[in-house]
A = this chain, B = another copy of it.
Amino acid sequence: MSDHVYKKIELVGSSKASVEDAIQNAISSASKSLTHLDWFEVQEVRGHIQDGAVGHYQVTLKVGFRLVD
């Protein structure tokens, strides 16, 4: 890493399956329009409840990517 600059954006991914799947959904979405995605940081895990069970996991994460000069 030389003197690069990175930007962090905040996303919320959701999934009926798992925390990991919600993270992956957010990263897949970000990779559609951004390149040089580098790392993520989970900020919060929450979700909806439906019929006495987890309906969706909702994971807030920050995604860091390198700004191209």
Contacts and interface: CB of A to CB of B under 8 A. Distances in A.
A3 B27 contact: no
Contacts of A39: 46-49
Which size bracket describes the interface of A in this complex?
35 or more
A53 B27 contact: yes
Q: Which of A10, A25, A44 has the most CB of B within 10 A?
A: A10
B38 A54 contact: no
Interface in A7-59: 7-16, 18-20, 23-31, 37-42, 44-49, 52-58
Given A10-B10, A28-B53, A40-B54, 7 more contacts: A3-B15, A4-B14, A5-B13, A6-B12, A8-B11, A20-B54, A41-B46
